Amino acid sequence: MPPKEKLNIAMVCDPIGSNKSGVVVSTVRFAKLLRARGHHIIFIGAKLSEQDDSDHDSIKAYRYRSIPIPKGDGWCLSFPTVRELKKVFMDEKIDVVHIILPMSGAVVAIKAAQALKIPIVAHSHSQPENIFLEAPKWLQPTLGRLWNRYLVWVYSKAQTLIYPSEMAKSLLHNLGKKNQSSMVISNGINLSHFVTLPVGDFYKRFNIPEKAIKLLFVGRLHLEKSVDTLIKAMPYIIKTSKNIHLMIVGPGYLRPKLEKLTQSLGMQPYITFLGQVSEEDKIIAYNASDIFVLPSIAELEGMVVLEAMACSKPIVISDAKMSASRYFVDGNGFLFKTRDHQHLAEQVLKIIADPVLRKKMGEKSFQNAQKYDIHKSVELLEEVYYKAITTP
């Protein structure tokens, strides 16, 4: 069987390079592995300043005028013209346009791709819960309906829709056109990167008590992550077991508010905000922890959970109906009632109190993580691309 041709692929993701959200991290990881398989990848994204024409992680990037999203922590909406993107697609001989996020740049990319008859693939990475949670509650249902109507338009232009989890597919399957091709492809985990590592001087650098049992949260400090629930659980945990420390990794506009909450509860000695850390330090943080906690109420998959599992950590996850991360709990941790900080504390204390259980759950996490090898995800993504260019 002759080898398949190598493709020129345009990935359209407005916030490329501007933050470290899960969707951006996933996009970059896929792009690098696709390039390693011989494909040519370009990014279409936002220009953060007049001087910002840089590539991203050695992937060629075309950046366009943009405006920041309020409380977006680096998220921007880009505004290329159809003429500009048509020129890029022709110059780069693009075979497939991959819409990562349904933002303003995606709308223009769709029109340019349609004009040039280039196949379109769309990734379903968007939940109304991630976008409108801070809107007045009475307005959220209406905003959610309007957003879904918009997604119907965007996703109906694609030959294939990609969902990061089965739960995402069950929530969003009606947003494409009837009989549209779709595939579930996990964001995956690079099992050669997220491994057991020595922590070195990590505790010293971040002023973490070395002998404490460490809890870890990794993610954006945004409302849907419900980090306040975890912070509120700490007094209950400390009341039973004082040798505990919580590490919070990640940036976000809620950090000042969460730090104030920490202070009001008298938890400063037990909680450290590490902020945005390097990829290397993030992997070390997993290794430096004993239990990973994700209180998020909305996740279409939850890459940070996979990362923690690959590093052999027990997990405690919110049983939120809009979170696919709850399905990662399979003999390797516990679920807790959404936004119930006391129940979260109870689940954490079960693991803290039993070192043997903690070890077994960590081993089970490692075992379960092996099913999410990102190289398998990239192979499936290639299948989607090849099907798109051969389907009339």
Per-residue pLDDT at 311 exceeds 90: yes
Q: What ranges in the chain are assigned the alpha helix state H?
A: 22-36, 82-91, 104-115, 128-131, 140-155, 166-172, 202-205, 227-240, 255-264, 279-288, 303-310, 341-352, 355-369, 374-390
Residue linked to tokens 């996979």: 306
How many other C-beta atoms are found inside a 10 Å radius of the C-beta of residue 385?
Answer: 21
Percentage of the chain modeled with pLDDT above 90 = 71
DSSP 21-42: -HHHHHHHHHHHHHHHTT-EEE
Mean pLDDT of 272-294: 96
Token representation of residue 270: 């037990």
Q: What is the pLDDT of residue 67?
A: 87
Q: What is the pLDDT of residue 62?
A: 92
Cα–Cα dist 379/376, whole Å: 5
For residues 255 and 20, the model is more confident at 255
pLDDT tens for 73-98 read 667 889 999 999 999 999 999 999 99
Per-residue pLDDT at 1 exceeds 60: no
Residue 149: pLDDT band (50, 70, 90) is confident
Cα–Cα dist 198/280, whole Å: 11
Q: What is the pLDDT of residue 109?
A: 97
Q: Which of 277, 311, 305 is nearest to 194 (CA)?
A: 311
Per-residue pLDDT at 54 exceeds 70: no
pLDDT tens for 160-192 read 999 999 988 887 766 666 677 889 999 999 999
Q: What is the pLDDT of residue 267?
A: 98
Q: What angle do CA 147, 149, 154 make, to 5 degrees?
A: 90
Mean pLDDT of 347-364: 97
- Average pLDDT value for the chain: 90
Q: What is the pLDDT of residue 5?
A: 87
Cα–Cα dist 72/69, whole Å: 5
Residue 151: pLDDT band (50, 70, 90) is confident
Per-residue pLDDT at 367 exceeds 70: yes
Residue 142: pLDDT band (50, 70, 90) is confident
Cα–Cα dist 392/157, whole Å: 13
Question: What domains sit in the chain, N to C, each tagged with a CATH number?
Answer: 8-188+373-390 (3.40.50.2000), 202-372 (3.40.50.2000)
Per-residue pLDDT at 51 exceeds 50: no
What is the phi/psi pair of residue 134, to 5°? Answer: -90, -5
Characterize 79-117 residue by residue with b for buried, 16 or more Cβ atoms within 10 angstroms of its Cβ, and e for exposed: bbebeebbebbeebebbbbbbbbbbbbbbbbbebbeeee
Which distant-in-sequence residues (6+ apart) come within 8 Å of 391 by Cβ? 119, 159, 181
Q: What is the pLDDT of residue 2?
A: 45
Mean pLDDT of 321-327: 94
For residues 368 and 159, the model is more confident at 368
- Contact criterion met (CB below 8 Å) for 184 and 161: no
Characterize 210-236 residue by residue with b for buried, 16 or more Cβ atoms within 10 angstroms of its Cβ, and e for exposed: eebbbbbbbbbbbbbbbbbbbbbbbeb
